[in-house]
Structure 1
Amino acid sequence: MLDPEILARVQFAFTMAFHIIFPSLTIGLASFLLVLEALWLRTGNDTYLSLYKFWTKIFALAFGMGVVSGIVMSYQFGTNWGPFAKLSGPIIGPLMAYEVLTAFFLEAGFLGVMLFGLNRVGPKLHITATGMVAVGTLFSAFWILSANSWMQTPAGYSIETGRLVVESWFDVVFNPSFPYRLVHMVLAAYLTTAFVVAGVGGWHLLRNRENAAARIMFSMAMWLITILAPLQILAGDMHGLNTLEQQPAKVAAMEGHFETSKGGTPLILFGWPDMKAGETRYAVEIPYLGSIILTHTLDGEIKGLNEFAPEDRPNATIVFWSFRIMVGLGVLMLLAGIGSLWARYRKTLFECRWLHRFAFIMGPSGFIAILAGWCTTEVGRQPWVIYGILRTADAGSPVSPVAIAGSTIAFFVAYAIVFGVGTAYILRAMRQDPRHAHIAAGEIYRADHAQIVDQLDSHKH
């Protein structure tokens, strides 16, 4: 017999994994477009305009697919997670509404001007529209992260007649984990965009190292990676300290610690957490390093997973490995930034083919790291959907498993078609030469037509 709770969780995880890919690109890409347009207006260099138009097409499609996939997520709250929606509606509902009112309306209101108004409105109004879209994406991240963080670390509420009631909206929005999650996610979105841009730039440089547009996008992206990768590691460390304080069971699962170590906790690099046996098998450890990282002391104590009730333990096998995928990719991102600095020092940034290949391979790394990070966050919160208030087992609607399985299959087929085509179009657009993006189709036709006429005239003479 299929478990409806597991099926509902699988469905939400599937749709969430698709959805988060697109905002993680558009948040950073909107700011990148703003910088490109500002540089074009300041310098008059049409290469920046070419890059702006090149990435605008990709942004528009990613934005549209993000909106569509987000609507499907909201649908699931009312169908598969009715008790959760009923209990948390007075808090989660307004937070989601604020996201629509302040972020989506702002983005949608200026997106048309940004996409189609370059030759119809003045440069000041157009760059303002681009700026408003960029601000809107950040507002969206603000409210969505606030809602999710509240579910992780609830604050500012009371329970009356079986429903949550807000006592302080400030405490709800700025709950204990929100600042750390917001910074960590926004930096992740910018790094994701930077690696996509660097990957595309690296691919074009491998084809033609003299491509001016590819040089600019590659250099800008590598500068951003160099600056943000170490900042993200610092933000992750601060986020980890906050998680240790607010959700110690999650940290124990992330680190693979089942027993509390006395006199210093080792760092388990690799191993296989066995939930049934209550131990991490084949552990490769570094003494004291776990305490140094998590408590910034040599003898800091980390509470082991076995000290929590069995029904309150997250799945350490999943959390342990998803966390290591995220951290491992973060280290590779840091190495990419260091490698670019070395290439700049040697003045070989645009001739360093190994760096271009590495950037191309690392192009999707930001998406993978974000998915691994969200898996760590959400699976590590289990068995709670609202931490300490509502268990996941009590949050589901009485929907038949056949109905959930059927809708999941329908989502899978629809996503494979719609998003498969959209992704293929984005990849095709990325393969086009960015130097020619600022030339409209009509202009290309007129140029070709004029060239043909000139050739006919020369033959006549």
Structure 2
Amino acid sequence: MDVDALLLARIQFGFTISFHILFPAITIGLASYLAVLEACWLKTQNTVYRDLYQFWIRIFAVNFGMGVVSGLVMAYQFGTNWSYFSDFAGGVTGPLLAYEVLTAFFLEAGFLGVMLFGWSRVGPGLHFLSTIMVALGTLISATWILASNSWMHTPAGYEIINGRVVPVDWLAVIFNPSFPYRLAHMGVAAFLATALMVGASASWHLLRNNDNQAIRKMLSMAMWMILVVAPLQAVIGDFHGLNTLKHQPAKIAAIEGHWENGPSEEGVPLTLFGWPDMEQEKNHFAVEVPHLGSLILTHSWTGQFAGLKEFAKNDRPNALVVFWTFRIMVGLGILMIALALWAFAARMRGRLYQSRALWRYSLYMGSSGLVAILAGWFTTEIGRQPWIVYNVMRTADAVTPHGALEVGITLALFVVVYFVLFGAGTLYILALIRKGPVLNAMEAPPEGGPGEHNTPSRPMSAAPDADESRAQVSMNRG
């Protein structure tokens, strides 16, 4: 297979999985958020929690559907574009993906209908159980997917027999060295991204003077969640980095833009900014902090770790890409912590619901969790190159030998279809958010009847039509 076709195949997989990773992340966060809302409603009987549940369940349903659709494409690509990988490592990855279907997907499918449409049709206990089961299913799904992906980064519990991977210890396969760190990092990222989205939604309404108890509760719960999980994510990230240094040192060297060690007493500086040059093997325009790289990665003032020059050129990941994607992720994480601290200070001063500057900042940060997830994912996956199974199978040996024209045409089709399909879904979700939660919606008389507008009990019927949207905008402006 020529180099251009290989690059296009990697771009195609990266493009499709970039869409897929976002929807499940929000699904994981929203499912748990809905479980908390329903628990609060059952405990306090405060209708605000019930109204928020009815508002976010519609957004969850649309997002869940897009996540399922985007996930189907991934399974097919393993057979069409990466058939040699499937043949070589399918003995491990195949069962892990099958376990996800048999456990998580069946669990979600069994209770999703009750969760979406059973509020007034089943008892409160059964409905709450359904919400918990769906939330649990999303977490189980993430567990199996990350077990498979983590094995590709830190393979364990296998032997190669007749040119194929054969699992010999399933516990070692599943609980491979990087799995706990990746699971914790991704799970917290999903909660953080969802909290930022919820907080941004509340801030959008407050900035437009749509102030009620449900909106305030959204903002309050989101800011508490960010205050807890944003610093926690930084701690998890530190442990994950140390694990990566142990098992994928070339990736860490590329992330740090670290080419070679100097005298032992100098330690390793932290390169804040710069332009890694893969050809000249150095950083241009580097801004460095002496010893800080050693302190972060070795927890000592003069500790050293391998530089990129210690690895063969064809074993090095693209330092320029992972250097900057990592800094985008970390930079956004710092801004998230700043938002959490600002909101906490405003809450202590009694100004959480009066600070328009805070609301505006929260609104701007609404998508930062998703951007950080993508940046982290690019760092992880591009940093693994040139290996598809680290130190076992190269990416170039895993791809199906298609021509560049074939892969290019399918990539172009994916781009068009994805932006039309998921763009429409995203716009619909934004329309639902703009509508906002309806207070005491469950106590309102049912719509319908002769000559009256009838709203079916379907998530896709929840967004206002064009005339209603224009009327609402006019009202808000007035």
Question: When the two structures are superposed, what TM-score results if normalisation uses the length of structure 1?
Answer: 0.95
Q: CA RMSD in A?
A: 1.5
- Superimposed CA distance per residue, residues 390-446 of structure 1 (whole angstroms, 9 cap, x where no aligned partner): 001111111122211111111111112111110110000000121348359972557
Deviation at 1:210, TM superposition (A): 3.3
- Aligned runs of 1:262-281 on 2, under 5 Å? 262-263=264-265, 264-281=267-284
Give the secondary structure class of the aligned counterpart of 1:435. coil
Aligned to 2:472: none
Aligned to 1:396: 399
Give the secondary structure class of the aligned counterpart of 1:363. coil
Structure 2 CA distance, aligned partners of 1:252 and 1:327?
16
Q: Which amino acid aligns with 1:151?
A: M
Kindly, what percent of the aligned residue pairs are identical?
A: 57
Aligned to 1:118: 119
Give the secondary structure class of the aligned counterpart of 1:268. strand
Aligned to 2:84: 83
Deviation at 1:278, TM superposition (A): 0.2
Structure 1 CA distance, aligned partners of 2:356 and 2:407?
49
Report if aligned partners of 1:212, 1:435 keep a CA contact under 8 Å in 2. no
Structure 1 CA distance, aligned partners of 2:238 and 2:245?
11
Q: Does 1:14 align with 2:15?
A: yes
Q: Which amino acid aligns with 2:95?
A: P
Aligned to 2:218: 217
- Superimposed CA distance per residue, residues 350-375 of structure 1 (whole angstroms, 9 cap, x where no aligned partner): 11111111111000000000000000
Report if aligned partners of 1:209, 1:351 keep a CA contact under 8 Å in 2. no
Structure 2 CA distance, aligned partners of 1:333 and 1:280?
29
Aligned to 2:43: 42
Deviation at 1:45, TM superposition (A): 1.6
Q: Which amino acid aligns with 1:350?
A: Y
Report if aligned partners of 1:209, 1:350 keep a CA contact under 8 Å in 2. no
Report if aligned partners of 1:195, 1:362 keep a CA contact under 8 Å in 2. yes
Structure 2 CA distance, aligned partners of 1:415 and 1:331?
31
Structure 1 CA distance, aligned partners of 2:164 and 2:246?
27
- Alignment partner for residue 296 of structure 1, among 283, 294, 299? 299
Q: 1:398 to 1:224 in 2, by over 3 A?
A: same
Q: Does 1:373 align with 2:382?
A: no
- Aligned runs of 1:401-440 on 2, under 5 Å? 401-436=404-439, 438-439=441-442
Structure 1 CA distance, aligned partners of 2:309 and 2:73?
38
Q: Which amino acid aligns with 1:378?
A: E
Question: When the two structures are superposed, what TM-score results if normalisation uses the length of structure 2?
Answer: 0.92
Aligned to 1:457: none
Structure 2 CA distance, aligned partners of 1:384 and 1:88?
13
Aligned to 1:456: none
- Superimposed CA distance per residue, residues 281-307 of structure 1 (whole angstroms, 9 cap, x where no aligned partner): 111000000000011100110211011
Aligned to 2:4: 3
Report if aligned partners of 1:156, 1:168 keep a CA contact under 8 Å in 2. yes
Give the secondary structure class of the aligned counterpart of 1:165. strand
- Aligned runs of 1:207-356 on 2, under 5 Å? 207-208=208-209, 210-261=211-262, 262-263=264-265, 264-356=267-359
- Superimposed CA distance per residue, residues 82-141 of structure 1 (whole angstroms, 9 cap, x where no aligned partner): 110000010000000001111111111110000000010000000000000000000011
Q: 1:435 to 1:441 in 2, by over 3 A?
A: closer
Report if aligned partners of 1:266, 1:289 keep a CA contact under 8 Å in 2. yes
- Superimposed CA distance per residue, residues 147-186 of structure 1 (whole angstroms, 9 cap, x where no aligned partner): 0000000000000000001110000000000000000000
Give the secondary structure class of the aligned counterpart of 1:175. coil
Q: How many residues align?
A: 448
- Alignment partner for residue 386 of structure 1, among 369, 384, 389? 389
Moved over 2 A (4+): 435-446
Give the secondary structure class of the aligned counterpart of 1:303. coil
Moved more, 401-410 or 251-260: 401-410
